[in-house]
Structure 1
C-alpha cells in the first residue's frame, strides 16, 4: 500500500510534523465552525455544499449543460463567498486581532458570568419593587429535563427584559417556573414539585414550596420573588434564604452559581440559608 510505505519510509520527526499539521487544520476548521454557528452563514454554507454535491452528480451522470452552469457558479464562488460572509469574516479578523480566535479567555468567561448576574439582578429588582411574582430555577449537575417538558420551550438567551416579560401578570407563561439550562432559558410555565417538609413556615406560598421542593430532589438553584410582599429568596440544597436585599441576592447568587468567593463572608450558602430561614 502506497500510504503505508510512505509512513514506514518517513522519519519520526516527519510523521510527528504530519500529525501536528492535520490536527492544526482540524482545529482551525472547528474554530471557524464555532464562529459561524448560530448565524445566517450556516445556511449559506449548506447551500455551498449542495452546489458541490450537485457538481459531482452532474459529472457522474454526464449532464453537460448543468455541469457547465455549476462550473460557472463555482468559478465566481470565491468572490461571492467574500461578499456573503463579510460580517463573519470581519468578526473573525477582529477576534484574531484581539487574540480571541483560538481560545476562550478567562476574561470572556467572566464577562459572560457578569452578564448573567446583571440580567438576574436587574429583572429581580424590577419585579420585587412592583411585587410581580416570579419563580426561576437554574439547572446545575442534576438534569431538569422532566420539568422542562411540562412547560413551553423557549431556548432563549437570558435577558432581564425577557425574564420580566414572562412574569407580567395575566400573560400566558407567568403562572409557572422558568428553567435555565446551559445558561439559556429552556422553558417557561413549568411545574415544579412541591416540598413535603412539614416544618416549612405556614406563611410560605406555592412558589416558595415549589422552590424548596425542586431544591430537595435536585441541586438546582431557584430564585423566588413573592407576589404578596416583593421579598426575594433563594433556595438550594433544601434550604431557603429569605428577605434578601439586592446586594445580598447578587452576592449569594454569584457564589453558589459560579462558585465565586466574596470578600464579605466565607460562610457557605447552605449555612446562610439555615441562619436566615426563620
Structure 2
C-alpha cells in the first residue's frame, strides 16, 4: 500500500494518534541520548551503528561470508546492548522512579543555579583569602569522562564545604582537579591536559596551564585559585580571565556557566575582533 493511501485512509483522530506516537518515541530517544552523553556508552553506540551499516553493505555487495558472520552475531545484539548500557539504563529507571526523567520546572532550575553559584562563590572566596590552591572544571556539552577516569570517583552533591575540604593542603586529593558533571562533583584528583601554547605568560603555573589546556580541547569552564597569590581566574573557550575580584568572578562564572550559547558565541567573537584589531 502506498504511504500516501495509508495516511488518507486514516481519520483525524488516527492521524493525531500517530503524530503523538512519533513525538513520544522521539522524546524518549532524546532523553536516553542525554543520559548517555559524555559516557563511554556513546562510543559503544557508534560501534553498533557501524555494525548495522556494515550489515546493510554486505547485502548490497553480496559479501556472503561477512553476512553469515554478522547473522550469527546480531541475534544476540539486544542482550549485548542491555549488558553494555546497564549503568545508563539503571540511571534512567531510577530517574523515572523519582519522577525526574522529564524536565524540571524553570523555578527549580533557577533555584538550582542559585545554589550552585552560592556554593562555588563561598568555596572560592574562602580558598582565595587563605591562598589555598584549587582547580575546578565544569563539564558542559563536551564530555569529560576520559579526564574523570584519571581521578578518584566521588559522585557527590556540590557544596562549598566539600570543595574546600578537597583542596586543603597535604590531603590525598588536593593536587589534581575537581570535575563537576551534571551539577555534581564527579571526581577529584583528576589530571587535565597541559596547554602547549607559547603565548601563555611564564608566571602562570601548572594549574593555569592545565585549565587553559582543557579549554582548548573542550568547552569546559575551569576555575583556578592560585596557591602563591590567592588570585582567582576563569578559563573558557581557550581564554583566561585573571585576577578577578569576587564580584567579577561571580559575573563571569554565571555568564559562561549558565549563559545562553548565543551570548557566549557573541562574547567570543568580540574578543577575537578586539585581539585582531589591538
Q: TM-score, normalised by structure 2?
A: 0.59
The question of 1:254 aligning with 2:251 is answered no
Task: Give the whole-Å Cα distance in 2 for the aligned partners of 1:236 and 1:188.
Answer: 20
Residue 3 (structure 1) aligns with: none
Maintained 8 Å contact 1:254/1:260: no
User: Aligned-pair distance for 1:259?
Assistant: 0.6
Task: Give the whole-Å Cα distance in 1 for the aligned partners of 2:219 and 2:211.
Answer: 11
Residue 233 (structure 1) aligns with: 233
Residue 172 (structure 2) aligns with: 172
Residue 141 (structure 1) aligns with: 141
User: Aligned-pair distance for 1:179?
Assistant: 0.3
Task: Give the whole-Å Cα distance in 1 for the aligned partners of 2:149 and 2:267.
Answer: 32
Q: TM-score, normalised by structure 1?
A: 0.59
Between Structure 1 and Structure 2, how many residues are aligned?
A: 190
Cα 1:268–1:193 shift into 2, 3 Å: same
Residue 267 (structure 2) aligns with: 268
Consecutive aligned runs of 4 or more in structure 1 exceeding 4 Å deviation: 12-16
SS at match of 2:119: helix
Task: Give the whole-Å Cα distance in 2 for the aligned partners of 1:160 and 1:114.
Answer: 13
SS at match of 1:135: strand
In the TM superposition, 1:81-92 aligns within 5 A as none
RMSD: 3.4
Structure 2: runs of 5 or more not aligned: 1-10, 19-98
SS at match of 1:241: strand
User: Aligned-pair distance for 1:185?
Assistant: 0.4
Cα 1:116–1:13 shift into 2, 3 Å: same
In the TM superposition, 1:85-164 aligns within 5 A as 104-164=104-164
Task: Give the whole-Å Cα distance in 1 for the aligned partners of 2:135 and 2:241.
Answer: 14
Task: Give the whole-Å Cα distance in 1 for the aligned partners of 2:123 and 2:129.
Answer: 10
Deviations 1:108-165, CA, capped at 9 Å, x for gaps = 1100000000000000000000000000000111111111011000000000000000
Maintained 8 Å contact 1:223/1:234: yes
User: Aligned-pair distance for 1:258?
Assistant: 0.5
SS at match of 1:242: strand
User: Aligned-pair distance for 1:271?
Assistant: 2.8
SS at match of 2:243: coil
